[in-house]
Amino acid sequence: MEAKYWRQEQERLERVRNKLQARIAELEPEVIGLRDQAADIRKRFWEEVTINTSTQEDFEETFYSVQQQSAMLAERERGHNRLVHQWNGMKRLLPSPYFGRVDFQEDGLNASEQIYIGVSSFVDKDGLNFLIYDWRSPVASLYYDYPPGRASYVTPAGRIDGTMTLKRQFQIQNGHIRTMFDASETIGDELLQQVLGKDADSQMKSIVATIQKEQNAIIRNDKSRMLIVQGAAGSGKTSAALQRVAYLLYKHRQTIRADQIVLFSPNPMFGSYISTVLPELGEENMQQTTFQEYLDNSLGSSLRSEDPFDQIEYTLTAQGEPGYEARLQGIAYKTSEAFTKALQNYGKWLGRKGMRFEDIRFRDRVLITAERMSAKFYNFDSSLPLFNRVVLLQEWLLNELASLEREEREAFWVQEESNYLDNEQYAEVFDMLHKERELFDLSEQYAAARARMNNKRRGDEGDVDFAQREEELILRSIVKKSFKPLRKSVRKFSFVDVKGIYGQLFVDEVAYREKTNEVVIPPHWPEICRQTKDMLSRNELFHEDATPYLFVKELVEGVRTNTEIRHVFVDEGQDYSAFQYEYFKKLFPRARMTVLGDFGQAIFMQATNLEASDSPLIRLFGEADTSLVRLVRSYRSTREIVEFTKSLLPGGDEIVPFERRGRKPHLIRLNGVEKRDAQILEHIASLRAEGFVSIAVITKTAAESREAHESLRIQGREALQLITKETLAFEKGVMVIPVYLAKGIEFDAVLIYNASPAAYGRDNERKLLYTACTRAMHRLHLYTTGDWSPFVHTLPANLYEKAPY
């Protein structure tokens, strides 16, 4: 590019930076001043208000003065926060104020405007001249969506058409333009080349400077209730999701807070991997969780649910064990829509009969039997939904308990217990009695006030009548105290035997058909029933049972909802079942959903195809309220790696590699495990010598990871991290990791520990191998000690190099 343009741009950059610096300096005293003021008000809060509650008037005055003080404090704090946000934004801009420029001439206007785009806006002192536009502003769309030529963008007031006469990209570091390109394509490949050529990091990076047009469509989609993104491995789904969160927080800043957005991620480690993207963009992080965390919270401590990792470990390692086939059939069935239907029908059946309750027991006696509850329950109006009848039953139980409690006061044990009250307990009851009475009894209050004034003992303490009442009240309080847990557990619906209700589905085929109207029963049903009940008897649930169990629990106890949440993001969306999606919809009734995933990486059995025409996901909100976007360009890996990995998948042809060149994947066959491990260690050393920092040895299972880690650790000198499902933070370095934990993450180099037919031979293992290989950015090695997996074996030979290295 001509030197004069460089000079002009560098000069403009300096002008903008000077203004930024001036404004930062100008605001600094104000920021500090406001902070001090707020701190001062907080400190003097109680000094400024006089507390006086002697009369009603005094009390009201005190009340208003406290209110006034706190309103003032809140206002100062809000002002302070706004200013600090602005001030931090400018400080963030200073080293690299912008990354893009477009010159745009609106139709009907004579001059074209220069629009510079950065991570936040910066307006000149006059308040009108935008020196930098926030990347999320409507006009910034031009930069992402069009090459020079005719272009348009949409504002709240309508569409603006015009001509883009220039599109320029910058890399600016510490106030200096490092590179500058004029782009002819949508977003110049040169900048993207540079960004993608960099090394993997322990934290995901923001992509605002190089967002691609199709990604921009995802980020700014504000139309439908459900947005589905099916995208190839490395196509930027997670990146787009995070920039979308930032966009939503900007566009709806008056109405949506970061804690009203929740992202479901595949594992806790992934949460740490993506946690810096939003703060880097000046936004607060949304809420993050895993579905398992949600399940554990909802099930409480009485039942333990297996996590998805133990489930997949079982499906991958237990072939040939007794009951294996039945378990697989069970997983397939229990995660299907057919099972959701069956459970809905079961709800109707329960409306007629078969509800199960738990006796209410007290001191080794049954106070209210399950049979009585059942009879009562089925006496309520049968047109009422199950849940309403359960609530009526709950009310009835609380009344019953109240009268049983009255009767219980006569019981011998109560007398006994009252005799054994020690002084302290007695004083406690005595105090409580007075307090209780004070509340209801005005004269009691009067007596209390007089006693306080005269500092005298209360006259009633020697009163015979009072002693009798006191005795009565003591008995009452003893019974009340021991009935308290009963009332509490009734309020928590403990009288409903949810475990029994779920368990009775798994008796035999005839009973199951009767309860659910199910026509097609999966094979191995008796064994599925046995396994499910075995787990329940140990207070455990298979992972595939956890969501259906909650579904049944909510049928009878009412649905839990969270109406605060406005946006739900589900990453790795292919790994959730139809059942789980129904659940999300119920749980977050006021939220829009964004589901991102790749059916090519569907390695769990409960997979959902996101884009198939009969996808349950499309049916969830209906086609009219659903947008589907497909991403086929893959950015993570070199062209050579993408060519290799896409050939592993049937239908992978449509994946388009980004034009970044590298070495072909290496296939290395060795004679024996020891030699293989020694070779892997050698390769790790040479990759490190080449400057690669993040290197993963990927295994199929956690069991294989442990073995590999042990063997490599013994032979080698390198520090090797073993990643397990308990690992919380993702750190750069050399690691051994099972493929299902490496989902969503990337490494400079990936070494597939064992690409033999035994490891990746069955059809469902194809996607495992694909997922593992697509984690590689720059280098990919596959090892075997015998044959090659058939998925590798059948690849065209021009896609890889064979050892020697």
Ligand X SMILES: Nc1ncnc2c1ncn2[C@@H]1O[C@H](COP(=O)(O)OP(=O)(O)OP(=O)(O)O)[C@@H](O)[C@H]1O
Name the minimum Å distance from CB 30 to ligand X: 37
Query: How far apart (Å, rounded) are the C-alpha atoms in residues 653 and 689?
Result: 35
Pure H helices in 647-783: 673-689, 702-715, 766-773
645 labeled part of a ligand binding site: no
Report residue 56 CA to chain centroid gap.
Answer: 50
CB nearer ligand X, residue 212 or residue 701: 212
For the segment 651-670, give every residue that binds ligand X (CB under 6 A).
none
Please report the beta strands in 318-364, taking only residues with DSSP state E, as ranges in sequence order: 360-362
* CB atoms near residue 511 (< 10 Å): 14
**62 marked as part of a ligand binding site:** no
What six digits make up the tokens of 738?
């099972």
- Dihedral pair phi/psi, residue 456, rounded to 5°: -115, 160
Nearest C-alpha neighbor of 368 from the set 500, 490, 501: 490
Nearest residue (CB) to ligand X, 405 versus 643: 643
Output the smallest distance, CB 572 to ligand X, in A. 7
Judged by beta carbon, residue 49 or residue 568, the one nearer ligand X is: 568
Say if residues 769 and 789 touch (Cβ distance below 8 Å). yes
H-type helices in 743-805, by residue range? 766-773, 790-793
Dist. CA 769–CA 763, nearest whole Å: 10
Are the CB atoms for 744 and 730 separated by under 8 Å?
no
The answer to whether the beta carbons of residues 211 and 40 sit under 8 Å apart is no
| Residue 789 in the binding site for ligand X (CB under 6 A) | no
User: Is there binding between residue 235 and ligand X (CB under 6 A)?
Assistant: yes
Among positions 539-598, residues that touch ligand X (CB under 6 A) are 598
Instruction: Single out the residue of 89, 231, 616, 738 in contact with ligand X (rule: CB under 6 A).
Output: 231
Closer by beta carbon to ligand X, 77 or else 201:
201
Binding mask 152-191 for ligand X (x = CB under 6 A): ----------------------------------------
| Annotated binding residue 716 | no
The single residue among 119, 139, 233, 350 that binds ligand X, judged by CB under 6 A, is 233
Residue whose CB is less far from ligand X, 214 or 545: 214
Which of positions 447-486 make contact with ligand X (CB under 6 A)?
Answer: none
Distance of alpha carbon 666 from alpha carbon 689, whole angstroms? 18
Of all residues in this chain, which one has the CB nearest to ligand X in the complex? Answer: 236
> Does 234 carry a binding-site annotation?
yes
| Distance (Å, whole) CA 431 – CA 477 | 12
Closer to ligand X by CB, 495 or 576: give it. 576
Q: Does 162 appear as a known binding residue?
A: no
238 marked among binding-site residues: yes
Q: How far apart (Å, rounded) are the C-alpha atoms in residues 426 and 437?
A: 16
Which of positions 745-784 make contact with ligand X (CB under 6 A)? 746, 774
Answer whether 187's CB lies under 8 Å from 148's CB.
Answer: no
Q: Does 76 bind ligand X (CB under 6 A)?
A: no
Is residue 635 a contact residue for ligand X (CB under 6 A)?
yes
Q: Read off the amino acid at residue 509.
A: E
Annotate each residue in 188-227 with x if it binds ligand X (CB under 6 A) or - if it does not, as one string: ----x--xx--------x-x--xxx--x------------
- Alpha carbon distance, N-terminus to C-terminus of the chain: 41
β partners of residue 410: none
Dist CA 206 CA 219 (whole Å): 13
For 181, the enclosing helix (H) or strand (E) is strand 176-182
**Binding ligand X by CB under 6 A: which of 326, 744, 759, 765?**
744
State the minimum distance, in angstroms, from the CB of residue 779 to ligand X. Answer: 15
Contacts with ligand X, 281-300, as mask; x by CB under 6 A: --------------------
* CA dist., res. 168 & res. 234, Å (int): 26
Of the pair 292, 774, the CB lying nearest ligand X is at 774
Is 702 marked within a binding site?
no
Q: Is 699 in the site for ligand X (CB under 6 A)?
A: no
Cβ–Cβ < 8 Å for 182, 191: no
Binding residue for ligand X, selected from 141, 169, 224, 238, defined by CB under 6 A: 238
Question: Annotation-wise, does 232 bind a ligand?
Answer: yes
Closest separation in Å from C-beta 184 to ligand X: 18
Backbone torsions φ then ψ of 131, nearest 5 degrees = -80, -30
* Residues in contact with ligand X by the rule CB under 6 A: 192, 195-196, 205, 207, 210-212, 215, 231, 233-239, 598, 635-636, 744, 746, 774
**What are the binding residues for ATP?**
231-238
